[in-house]
Chain A
């Protein structure tokens, strides 16, 4: 945990005590710390999977078939005799990657869009936010299904499609932050000494709007992961030979009557991750004292 603290403080702008205070508040929140610990553990495993997975990803043992958890296969095996723990570890890499990459896409578009709209203001702002309003009203779940059907089911498209949906709220949060900050003296001072707009946005506005953005990002990742799992469950997301937690749950649901462990363990992995992210997000919201980010 101490490393985390050092990290947080190192990232914070020098002289600011906001991040230190926030970290102290977060440390008192047991659930958020639990979430952070579980999440760090899962990410570590995902990064190390190729070296620490107990079996090869494609290793089959057709003689063994589906077997319940045992000493050799801690979480059992599937109908092809593939080790479930290995499958879940590799699936977790994809699920987490979708969560983080798609959220980054959303972050990039949303923050840029919102910062420009909020900083430029006037007619540009009205036009940009009007577009966000219209996009908001679109039934996106159905659109993503449509996109996956039309353009085939590849991972890059999945990242982009989900990211393209999730940036809208990010843009709104960023815009309202920038609008508030723009009125303040230090920004006026920056304008008066003739800094270019891009520098002001990058050096002064974005760092100061970071709190709500961090909180919303933490809460976006689980909803993105849920979306990926939903699509994969329907067979429209991640495709074999790749796998993800959603896909494993979908296979597990097919054979759960005979082999319930194939449903339960991938389900547990997904639920635990979503839990951790939500707890961490809620904890960060309280710690950074952000109102109105996320639902």
Chain B
């Protein structure tokens, strides 16, 4: 198991370095410097600004300096908000986005997993078709459409839930979490149905039935462990999707999180902020992929045996 983790960890490092390098040079070759837009900045002022942000140095030297800063965990200053560092802005937005993402993933796993398992118990009956049709709707209904519709129905027409904000009024976290989680709930429902169907046809399940175990125990104790492996492996990509989805959901519900910062930075052409956030989010996604791979491998006895004894 440790060997498996070690190999995966070593594989993640070149990916992270590649992300940082590509992002850095992409942002540097972008047309238009960050201070070009400002109306008639005096040449001396511009030179001073560029010196402050190290833009007067050769590109490779900038890159080396940036990598050095990064190794110490410093993502640099923001172009648009003078005096604030990218680290500060990320620290302000991250807790909100992390909480939102966590709730969304909980919604996805609980609702999706439940729907998938229920559907798999009686395949090709109403108990299968109804949750699976709902899942199809969830996949075809993107968050940027579902969000406004939920907001319109529950926030404006029915006035059951608040329409915006985060942590100001009780209940204002419900709609964003559902909006963000629904697509992944749908995918998880399909994955867990397929996973469970495959597992429930295995011999060891027949053995459990033959022993006379109650059905719920067969499903929960013996079925879930194998049937949920695809779901756990999907959590990595789902996490990446939830982070990207937070761009949209935080914009719709006016939540002051990282996703909204990112979109604003994109519009402001705040290059250091874009660079810093991309590096940060990408690293997070790579690490989460790693985690979900390890967890899935740990749940899979065959893989564990392959790497365990050595």
Interface contact B281-A139, CB-CB below 8 Å: yes
Interface contact B145-A249, CB-CB below 8 Å: yes
Interface contact B144-A233, CB-CB below 8 Å: yes
The residue from B12, B269, B286 contacting A139, defined by CB atoms under 8 A apart? B286
Q: Which A143-172 residues have a C-beta within 8 angstroms of B?
A: 143, 145-152
Interface contact B144-A253, CB-CB below 8 Å: yes
Interface contact B269-A260, CB-CB below 8 Å: no
The residue from B136, B144, B148 contacting A275, defined by CB atoms under 8 A apart? B136
User: Counting CB contacts under 8 A, is B171 at the interface?
Assistant: no
Q: Which A233-251 residues have a C-beta within 8 angstroms of B?
A: 233-236, 246, 249-250
Residues of chain B having any CB pair with chain A under 8 Å:
11-12, 14-15, 18-19, 22-23, 26-27, 29-31, 136, 139-142, 144-145, 147-149, 151-152, 156, 187, 190-191, 240-241, 243-244, 247-248, 251-252, 262-263, 266-267, 269, 274, 278, 281-282, 285-286, 289
User: Counting CB contacts under 8 A, is A141 at the interface?
Assistant: yes
Interface contact A145-B152, CB-CB below 8 Å: no
| A143, chain B: closest CB distance, angstroms | 8
Interface contact B18-A138, CB-CB below 8 Å: yes
User: Counting CB contacts under 8 A, is A142 at the interface?
Assistant: yes
Interface contact B140-A271, CB-CB below 8 Å: yes
A142-B278, A257-B156 known; A137 vs B12 contact (CB < 8 Å): yes
User: Counting CB contacts under 8 A, is A229 at the interface?
Assistant: yes
CA distance A147 to B147 in the complex (A): 26
Interface contact A260-B19, CB-CB below 8 Å: no
CA distance A122 to B136 in the complex (A): 41
Interface CB pairs A-B, < 8 A, 29: A137-B15, A139-B281, A139-B285, A142-B243, A145-B244, A146-B26, A146-B274, A146-B278, A147-B26, A148-B266, A149-B30, A149-B269, A229-B144, A230-B142, A233-B248, A234-B248, A234-B266, A235-B267, A246-B144, A250-B144, A253-B144, A256-B148, A264-B149, A271-B145, A274-B140, A275-B140, A278-B140, A279-B136, A295-B190
A257 CB contacts on chain B under 8 angstroms: 152, 156
B136 CB contacts on chain A under 8 angstroms: 275, 278-279
User: Counting CB contacts under 8 A, is A263 at the interface?
Assistant: yes
Closest A residue by C-beta to B12: A137
A209-244: CB near B (< 8 Å → 1, else 0) gives: 000000000000010001001100111100000000
Interface contact A141-B251, CB-CB below 8 Å: no
User: Counting CB contacts under 8 A, is A189 at the interface?
Assistant: no
CA distance A236 to B240 in the complex (A): 19
CA distance A278 to B141 in the complex (A): 12
CA distance A275 to B247 in the complex (A): 24
Closest A residue by C-beta to B194: A295
User: Counting CB contacts under 8 A, is A267 at the interface?
Assistant: yes
CA distance A252 to B148 in the complex (A): 9
A106 CB contacts on chain B under 8 angstroms: none
Q: Which A123-140 residues have a C-beta within 8 angstroms of B?
A: 133-134, 137-139
A267 CB contacts on chain B under 8 angstroms: 145, 149
A84 CB contacts on chain B under 8 angstroms: none
Interface contact B26-A150, CB-CB below 8 Å: yes
The interface residues of chain B, by DSSP majority, are classed as: helix
Interface contact A150-B30, CB-CB below 8 Å: yes
User: Counting CB contacts under 8 A, is A75 at the interface?
Assistant: no
B281 CB contacts on chain A under 8 angstroms: 139, 142
The 7 closest A-B pairs by CB, nearest first: A141-B244, A274-B140, A253-B148, A150-B30, A139-B285, A233-B144, A137-B15
The residue from A142, A151, A246 contacting B244, defined by CB atoms under 8 A apart? A142
| B73, chain A: closest CB distance, angstroms | 20
User: Counting CB contacts under 8 A, is A287 at the interface?
Assistant: no
CA distance A257 to B31 in the complex (A): 39
Closest A residue by C-beta to B288: A139
CA distance A143 to B152 in the complex (A): 32
| A277, chain B: closest CB distance, angstroms | 9
CA distance A150 to B265 in the complex (A): 12
CA distance A226 to B187 in the complex (A): 15
User: Counting CB contacts under 8 A, is A270 at the interface?
Assistant: yes
Beyond A139-B19, A139-B282, A256-B148: 4 further Cβ-contacts under 8 Å?
A139-B281, A146-B23, A149-B266, A149-B269
Most chain-B CB neighbours within 10 Å: which of A141, A146, A152, A226? Answer: A146
Most chain-A CB neighbours within 10 Å: which of B19, B148, B281? Answer: B148
A145 CB contacts on chain B under 8 angstroms: 244, 247, 262, 266
A236 CB contacts on chain B under 8 angstroms: 266
CA distance A257 to B151 in the complex (A): 10
A147 CB contacts on chain B under 8 angstroms: 26
